[in-house]
Structure 1
Amino acid sequence: MTWGQINDETLAAAAELIGVPLRRDRMQWIEATTRDTIRHFAWGVGDDNPLWFDADYAAKSPAGTILAPPCILYAVDCTIVAPKLAGVQWIYAGTEWTWYDHIRINDSFKIDVKLIKQEVKTGRRFGKWALQTGALSYRNQDGNLIAEAIGKCARTPRGDGRKRKDGEEPKGHVAYRYEPAELADIEEQVLAEPRQGNVPLYWEDVDVGAHVPPVIKGPLTITDILAWYAAAQGALHYGGVHGDALRYRRRHDDYHINAETGAKDSAGRGHLEASTGRDVGMGGAYDVGPQRIAWGQHMLTNWIGDHGFLHQLKVNVLQPNMVGDTIWWRGEVLGKREVGAAKFLDLKVEARNQSDLLSASGTAVVALPSRQDGPVPLPLAPA
């Protein structure tokens, strides 16, 4: 098979794994939601909710204990299900999350993962590429189903292989230059972000058309991306470092070639280095897809407060969020419904940058307490 190529042979080899349970030893950064892993994850996305940090505060909450941000499950298993196609880039395309219960301090998890679909596509940024979709389930130490996820990953060519049929190269990114007043305004917006906290937000009090207070992230820096790596994945997905990385690459033949040194390097280098980001067709250094989705979760858990529950978050990552970009996550209530004793709100959510470019979009479902019927009835039942 030709390394780094997307062709009938390499696609057929990957398709043989559809429906087969997959090993995940390189996709799980943490096994348990300890106090340290929870706070490291929250720090990694800039979420200062005391429900994740403060034991005294959390003891007075409906859960009665420290909880973990729902998207910490990216650190338990990153949802990248992208087997085979050695030497072909991974670009994260989105997640469909469904949570059924809180993630509590000191929970541990068993993960089941399968590749469920592989589609061949063409596009404006790349010529031929593939979209691989995986299904994951997360069960806690008691065997209870806490969450399910559908993870989508684009497999795209690197280097010369990324050129479109017309031979045109993807354009490099030109960083946005902020005026001092713009930066000051962004800082004020971030510092003014509201959080519902321990005051219940009741289902009866939210109208269709209501807007979720935004969460703002940026301007994005390399440090922000490194904080995500420390919180959620490290270098693990790329085989680790030093001898671990060599042993991984001998088994999986998955790496990127450093154009300056000729040495094998991490396939994730494009997130941290502009030249590699250009080489994989993204225009420069860019964020990590799950990182951006976790920012959307931050917005929603800020809004619903300690008494609410985030049931679903389904997001497609549409554009790279480049170093220097600022993202505004926003949401709007589209509908209200009752399913048994549960009171749900259906929302649309989206992320736009400083130039109003749509960066990510999707839907969410939250469950809220009811003035008439009481608290959210957890755990929620799978559909």
Structure 2
Amino acid sequence: MAKSEQDRIIDEWVTKRNKRIGEIRIPQLGEYPPDIHNLYGSILNEWVTTDLIRHYADSVGDRNPLWRNQEYARGTRWGGIVAPPTFTNSILQGGPMNFELEQFRKFNTWTYHPVGNRRELLQMIRPGDRMRAIQRYLGLEEVATTLQKPTRHFVETVRRTLINQREETVAVIDTYNNFILNHPAEDTYGLKRKKYRLTDKEQKAIYRGYDEEERRGADTLFWEDVSIGEEIKLHPIGPLAAFDSAAWCTAESGHAVAFEVEWERIKLNFDFAWLDPEVNAWTCAGVCHLCDDKGHATKFTGGPAVGFPSQLDGLIGRMICNWMGDDGLVKMLNTRTLALPIVGELLYTKGRVVDKSSKDGEYLVDLEVHCDNQDGLGLMSGSATIKLPSRTDFGV
């Protein structure tokens, strides 16, 4: 079958894009002046402070004293406050992307959004660290789609290497971006759904979980005591509120500029902004995270405001740390967004031990992890590898 003109245009774009594989870029500090070739890819917080770590922990509801109480943290193996494993979201923006506007305008329709990260964490991040990054483009790949024809779906991979002031590699982060091209305008990605109203029983379970949160803390979990098949979970979280998303924006390296500085970005890329018909003014399309029926919300969900997938990332990291305790170390966390959470949904974060191994003196545990809503709809899935102490090393 002969390809359509739109398919030909898309194929040419993919070929052109993949000629950039291996290209190196140094992410700029801050969002102003905006860089159209690395939009949503800046370093927003160069310096790590106790305040920033605390703000990040607050934004995922994490009361763990290891992130916020210096006296407590001083008594752990780390000797002081350290950052949670998903804290890299407070340093780097989550969706580095080169907007080739002259090319995008040839597509019938297009949408872009970050869809996941694979983090390899090489050491703890601590207050006083100063971060920079090196970014490498790894290419664009077409993937199967369940969306309405003639949609074509691509995933782009960008690798960022975080380096501290001692020139030590702290983390290697592969970020995955979704490109949805040639998508029928009347369809909503097949994820149209309505807000959920809690039952009294669900409401009580949530607040009971908040008040009785289980956290291992200083009670060491040894590698020998972990069983394959063992299940872990975080108490139910939610319902997700617009204020929760706003709290996330205060700590995550998201898009956080206003007025004239926001206008500098909008006028570079009207295709990715949103003309609000109610007030007849341009605004960031990211308003979909705070308000119903604004920005991209109608496309993503049919109306309800959508949460930030990277906040789910933080809940998964929080669950793992609560389970493994202060002596554990997250070496790798790999997550993918399956569906955007919407305001009003409950968030159920769970995991399971799938393997154990020991290699080169390290005692490792592999986990499957996921976050679902109250109806069992998968919002995020992934895997993690953690390092635990061994009874052999401790002589117990």
Distance change >3 Å, CA 318–CA 225, structure 1 → 2: same
Letter of the structure 1 residue corresponding to residue 320 of structure 2: L
Distance in 2 between the 1:21 and 1:29 partners? 19
For 1:12-51, what aligned pairs fall within 5 Å after superposition? 14-25=17-28, 26=31, 27-51=42-66
- Is it true that 1:338 corresponds to 2:358 in the alignment? yes
Please point out which of 260, 277, 282 is paired with 1:243: 260
CA deviations on 1:109-131 (whole Å, 9 max, x unpaired) are 11111221212456344623432
Distance 1:120 1:189, change over 3 A: same
CA contact (8 A) 1:221 1:324 kept: yes
Q: How far has the Cα of 1:319 moved from its partner?
A: 1.0
Matches within 5 A, 1:174-189: 174-189=194-209
Equivalent residues, number: 362
- Provide the residue aligned with 1:217 in structure 2: 237
Seen in structure 2, the aligned counterparts of structure 1 residues 18 and 242 have a Cα distance that, compared at 3 Å, is farther
Cα–Cα, structure 1 residues 54 and 320, in superposed 2: closer, same or farther, change >3 Å? same
User: What is the TM-score with the length of structure 2 in the denominator?
Assistant: 0.85
The answer for unaligned runs of 5 or more in structure 2 is: 1-8, 32-41, 105-109
The match for 2:166 is 142
Evaluate the alpha carbon distance shift between residue 142 and residue 302 of structure 1 in structure 2; reply closer, same or farther with a 3 A threshold.
same
Distance, in Å, in 2 between the alignment partners of 1:257 and 1:11 is: 29
Q: Give TM-score scaled by structure 1 length.
A: 0.87
Q: Which amino acid aligns with 1:148?
A: V
Q: Quick one: distance in 2 between partners of 1:289 and 1:331?
A: 17
* Equivalent pair of 1:38/1:68 in contact (CA under 8 Å): yes
Report what 1:260 is aligned to: 278
Paired with 1:15 and 1:264, the residues of 2 have a C-alpha distance of 33
Q: For residues 1-383 of structure 1, what are the structure 2 equivalents within 5 Å?
A: 7-8=10-11, 11=14, 14-25=17-28, 26=31, 27-86=42-101, 88-121=110-143, 123-125=145-147, 127-156=151-180, 162-163=183-184, 168=187, 172-236=192-256, 240-253=257-270, 254-276=272-294, 277-283=296-302, 284-374=304-394
Deviation, structure 1 residue 207: 1.3
- Distance in 2 (CA, whole Å) between partners of 1:340 and 1:350 is 29
Identity of aligned residues (%): 25
Separation in structure 1 between the aligned mates of residue 144 and residue 391 of structure 2, nearest angstrom:
51
Unaligned runs of 5+ in 1: 1-5, 376-383
Deviations 1:268-302 (A, max 9, x none): 12111221343333332111111111110000011
- State how far apart, in whole Å, the 2-side matches of 1:296 and 1:124 are: 26
Indicate if the aligned counterparts of 1:162 and 1:281 stay in contact, CA closer than 8 A.
Answer: no
Q: Distance between the aligned counterparts of 1:294 and 1:208, measured in 2?
A: 24
| C-alpha separation in 1, matches of 2:311 and 2:247 | 10
- Which stretch shifts more, 189-198 or 29-38? 189-198
Alpha-carbon distance, 1:187 to partner: 1.7
Q: Is the 8 A contact 2:273 2:284 kept in 1?
A: yes
SS, match of residue 379 in structure 2: strand
